[in-house]
Structure 1
């Protein structure tokens, strides 16, 4: 069975990223969101995540957090330390969510290995191609 997907972020980034992914890739039923609100702090964020993980039970879960070292990622890491069925990745972005949701990979460690370069490759400096003088005339 494919791992469940949880997106975590400061504010509404995770929710909005999931909405954008749904716009492109359709309904991603396996995705859940934990949004850290300003007043939550680590304890409140941990409480939200724990409640969601308890609901999912022993299913394998991949958590995509927005920022390495940030509160959502730290809360996920704490849960990962207590639950063998969890993996955590930081650097939440739209390409990563779409690939995680659509990938047929069922092994959670293989999925993480597959997603790492995708998340990194989604960040790039975009340059305009140079046109020759002949191309300007056409």
Structure 2
């Protein structure tokens, strides 16, 4: 099993580094930074990653649905049967995925991904709308 974060620039690297600070140095969590130099060939980066991780289940999290990084990965969904693609890379999502995979529950990969996305969405909060008069015990 591999989780790969890939983004425009170094966002993926930052998310992975932050996740590893929180959940520990998880060996199955990796990143690829796209477009960090002019010589970068995204399709080559993807093919290399797939070749290095042949026959493994791979969850790829990209930064932006419809963005070029996500679109490159979309081309491989039909040919790579163990590839799962999520658009909307975030730290809460990666932490959810890592923790669920580490639990080695009996859930299938689709359920793990779906519940991780659902829980990650709950972390989005417009803090100005919160009632600041709550006591710490109520949090």
TM over 0.5: yes
3-state SS in 2 of match to 1:131: coil
* Candidates 109, 131, 134, aligned match of 2:133: 131
**Matching residue of 2:69:** 72
Task: Provide the C-alpha distance between the structure 1 equivalents of 2:68 and 2:39, rounded to a whole number of angstroms.
Answer: 10
**Matching residue of 2:93:** 96
Task: Provide the C-alpha distance between the structure 2 equivalents of 1:34 and 1:86, rounded to a whole number of angstroms.
Answer: 16
Unaligned runs of 5+ in 2: 135-139
- Pairs aligned (count): 128
3-state SS in 1 of match to 2:126: coil
Q: Which runs of 4+ in 1 moved over 3 A?
A: none
Q: Which has the larger radius of gyration?
A: 1
Q: Deviations over 1:63-116 (max 9, x none)?
A: 111000111111111122221110101110001111111112463212111112
The structure showing larger relative contact order (alpha-carbon pairs under 8 Å, at least 6 residues apart) is 1
Coordinate RMSD, CA, aligned = 1.9
The structural deviation recorded for 1:130 is 4.4
**Matching residue of 1:23:** 21
The structural deviation recorded for 1:7 is 0.4
**TM-score normalised according to structure 2 size:** 0.83
Task: Provide the C-alpha distance between the structure 1 equivalents of 2:47 and 2:77, rounded to a whole number of angstroms.
Answer: 11
